[in-house]
Amino acid sequence: MLALDDVNISFRAGEVHAVVGENGAGKSTLMNILSGTYTPNGGSIVFKGRNIQFREPRDAQDAGIAMIHQELSLAPSLSIYENIFVGRLKKNRFGLTDREGMIRASLGYLSELGVDDLDPRREIRSLSVSQQQLIEIAKAVSLRSDILIMDEPTSSLTKNETVYLFKIIGELKAKGVSTIFISHRMDEVFQISDRITVMRDGRYVDTKQTKDTNEREVVSLMVGRSMDRQFHRADNSYCNDENPLLEVRNLSLKNRFQDISFTLHRGEILGLTGLVGAGRSELVQALFGIDERPSGTVLIEGEPVLVKSVGDAIGLGIGLIPEGRKTQGIFREMSVRENISIASLPGKCSGLFIDRKGESRLVDDYIGKMRIKTPGPEQKIKFLSGGNQQKAILARWLANQPRILILDEPTHGIDVGAKAEIYELMDSLAKEGIAILLISSELPEILTMADRIMVMSEGRINGILCKDEASQERIMELAIPRKGA
């Protein structure tokens, strides 16, 4: 199987060139070749009129090509400034490491990105996924290269952070720097790019001037068919149901969230939205037994329960698919099959033996249903594209059939075609009676999928809307922190 086959593509100085395609289309592979991370089996790269060959990322960097990787690649135990200056430590005039100089320069790079509240001495591991992504960007921008490759740079950025990033891309463009921009978000692609190249199945499909095309055309080039189908979820009103499966009363955790109360019902999809930093992920992590234990009460079927650990949560039938696929949940050296079935095996045993047939049926079923692009179930998961790894982790928890399923930004990094499949799966799980708590920042997703929508702001629930009273405007009103409150 070829990850890339005979791709011909050109990038101009000072242009923003978007590269789009479904999960596994070959976008990251192509960029890894351009940035010296992979060596191609054939073909050539011509850069500034000369044939070049990169043996390692350093060669590409020296030639003027820098890349922001899709999977964050920072060293977790090093500080922000050490990560920014890795491999090119600043020396002072006495030949000693110029720590202060690097810290000062890091502050400068961060403030270009609109980040003024991060101490460059902080360890990477103490940062949120979105902050780490900003550090990656700061590092790549600081290299002052001629071509800057960004592989899904915005996947966990807030709207505001994205605005800053786009401003920087614009400034770089004015200086003649080209940006190669990969994203599954069509609105961003159309906002920022001059040209768009579409890839499919490891092949080059076409390049369009952004102003001469539209979303519909690009999406149909991507998937190779026209995509008229929009997912619709039948109305399902839970606003008056008396018997919740899960009830949360006055849950508080110092500095994270305060006084959270809500109910979740069988067959319901409860949306949880708000601006990034509102405390959503912290809340669900507490419900799942990660981190400190909050004060307050959690009841399942009317009985108070104690969730002191992740084991307790799983035992009670709670499943969590966390945000940020690289850091959490993937067993890189294990196969796709093992990654999918690992959480559901105990229930699938017959007698003393693991039911291998049942296991492979289940795994094949999910690979098909979710269109996970892999040569087969035995492939090591680390060889799948980013989006396909994400789908396998989703499959793991869907296959596990918990009573309560918490999904934290489940469609980040998932292509437009596969999104609809995931929505369908969520809907059918809800129909089977599973209660779903869906965290999402994408308002169209929340409005399509959720029966009720809970809006958080600054660690508190600002309101819970029924589907028929919800709109983007209403949600935004509740999500924006109140001045002086």
Ligand X SMILES: Nc1ncnc2c1ncn2[C@@H]1O[C@H](COP(=O)(O)OP(=O)(O)OP(=O)(O)O)[C@@H](O)[C@H]1O
The contact set with Mg ion (CB under 5 A) reads 28, 70, 385-386
Beta-bridge partner residues of 91:
97
Applying CB under 6 A, the span of 27-35, 61-69, 123-131, 133-141 interacting with ligand X comes to 27-35
Beta-bridge partner residues of 453:
271, 465
How many Å separate Cα 100 from the centre of its chain? 34
Query: Among residues 136 and 359, whose Cβ is nearest to Mg ion?
Result: 136
Query: Among residues 154 and 385, whose Cβ is nearest to Mg ion?
Result: 385
Applying CB under 6 A, the span of 19-27, 51-59, 291-299, 357-365 interacting with ligand X comes to 19-27
CB of 275 to ligand X, least distance (A): 26
Does 3 bind ligand X (CB under 6 A)? Our answer is yes
Query: Among residues 386 and 402, whose Cβ is nearest to ligand X?
Result: 386
* Separation between Cα atoms, residue 318 and residue 112, nearest integer Å: 42
* Separation between Cα atoms, residue 96 and residue 444, nearest integer Å: 53
Taking residues 338 to 377 in sequence order and writing x for each that binds ligand X by CB under 6 A, - otherwise, the string is -----------------------------------x----
Q: What is the dihedral of CA 283, 460, 269, 373, to 10 degrees?
A: -50
Terminal Cα distance for the chain, rounded: 58
Q: Among ligand X, Mg ion, none, what binds residue 271 when CB lies within 5 to 8 Å by partner kind?
A: none
CB of 347 to ligand X, least distance (A): 29
- Strand (E) or helix (H) holding 362: helix 356-369
CB of 201 to ligand X, least distance (A): 8
| Residue ranges in 377-406 that form contacts with ligand X under rule CB under 6 A | 383-388
| Residue ranges in 169-198 that form contacts with ligand X under rule CB under 6 A | none
Q: Which tokens hold the place of 462?
A: 């600002």
Q: What 3-state DSSP class applies to 442?
A: coil
CB of 152 to Mg ion, least distance (A): 7
CB of 149 to ligand X, least distance (A): 12
Contact assessment for residue 14 and residue 176, using Cβ atoms and an 8 Å cutoff? yes
Query: Among residues 27 and 337, whose Cβ is nearest to ligand X?
Result: 27
Q: Among ligand X, Mg ion, none, what binds residue 69 when CB lies within 5 to 8 Å by partner kind?
A: none
Query: Among residues 271 and 387, whose Cβ is nearest to Mg ion?
Result: 387
CB of 164 to ligand X, least distance (A): 23
Q: Kindly provide the b/e burial profile for residues 245-280, where b requires at least 16 CB atoms within 10 angstroms of the residue's own CB.
A: bbbbeebebeebbbebebbbbbbbbbbbbbbbbbbb
Question: 83 — phi, psi (to 5°)?
Answer: -70, -40
Does 36 bind ligand X (CB under 6 A)? Our answer is no
Q: Which tokens hold the place of 154?
A: 């915005």
* Separation between Cα atoms, residue 67 and residue 136, nearest integer Å: 9
Query: Among residues 26 and 294, whose Cβ is nearest to ligand X?
Result: 26
* Separation between Cα atoms, residue 300 and residue 465, nearest integer Å: 22
Query: Among residues 39 and 250, whose Cβ is nearest to ligand X?
Result: 39
Binder of ligand X out of 16, 17, 18, 29 (CB under 6 A): 29
* Separation between Cα atoms, residue 336 and residue 426, nearest integer Å: 21
CA distances from 404 to 246, 407, 436 (A): 8, 10, 6
Provide the H-helix boundaries in 113-158. 129-142
* Separation between Cα atoms, residue 110 and residue 64, nearest integer Å: 21
Does 63 bind ligand X (CB under 6 A)? Our answer is no
* Separation between Cα atoms, residue 160 and residue 143, nearest integer Å: 24
**Interface with ligand X: number of residues (CB under 6 A):** 17
Query: Among residues 29 and 335, whose Cβ is nearest to ligand X?
Result: 29
CB of 197 to ligand X, least distance (A): 12
DSSP letter at 388 equals H
Q: Among ligand X, Mg ion, none, what binds residue 23 when CB lies within 5 to 8 Å by partner kind?
A: ligand X
Report DSSP letters for 284-307, one per residue.
Answer: HHHHTT-SSPPEEEEEETTEEE--
Q: Among ligand X, Mg ion, none, what binds residue 341 when CB lies within 5 to 8 Å by partner kind?
A: none
* Separation between Cα atoms, residue 153 and residue 67, nearest integer Å: 10
Taking residues 67 to 86 in sequence order and writing x for each that binds ligand X by CB under 6 A, - otherwise, the string is ---x----------------
Query: Among residues 33 and 275, whose Cβ is nearest to ligand X?
Result: 33
Note the residues at the interface with ligand X (CB under 6 A): 3, 21, 23-29, 70, 373, 383-388
